[in-house]
Amino acid sequence: MDTNDAVEALAALAQTTRLETFRLLVKHEPDGLPAGEIARQLGVPQNTMSAHLAILTRAGLTMSERQSRSIIYRADLNGLQSLTLYLVKDCCGGKAELCAPLVAELLPCCPPERRTS
């Protein structure tokens, strides 16, 4: 991710409805939600939601897939990962221990899967 991509992603998230939309889609991974359901849950008119989803998609934060007559939107977790890594890649001047609180805060929500041998 380059600076322009990061700015576009951050700008897309710097609006209440789009931030709420992205967080809702993250909660519904990996299945995603139809555009109409996103609009209903957030109390936003469908045409307005379409515009918000288009901005999030152009910013690399959501993706869509047609399923029959519905368009299912999902959070693009690769886009989120790229943005997050861009923001913290040079964290703390290479002193990993200073970033430990950030990593510790993220682990409880997404514990690593245990591998069975």
Is 43 domain-assigned? Answer: yes
What tokens were used for 104?
């510790």
Q: Are 38 and 70 in contact (CB under 8 A)?
A: no
Q: What is the pTM of this model?
A: 0.83
Amino acid 104: pLDDT: 78
Cα 62 to chain centroid distance, Å, stands at: 7
What tokens were used for 110?
């997404």
Q: What mean pLDDT do residues 81-106 have?
A: 79
User: At residue 117, does pLDDT exceed 60?
Assistant: no
Is 8 domain-assigned? Answer: yes
CATH number for the domain that contains residue 34: 1.10.10.10
Is 32 domain-assigned? Answer: yes
Amino acid 29: pLDDT: 93
The residue segments making up the domain with residue 16 are 1-110
Is 78 domain-assigned? Answer: yes
Is 117 domain-assigned? Answer: no
Total domains present in the chain: 1
pLDDT band at 99 (very low <50, low <70, confident <90, very high): confident
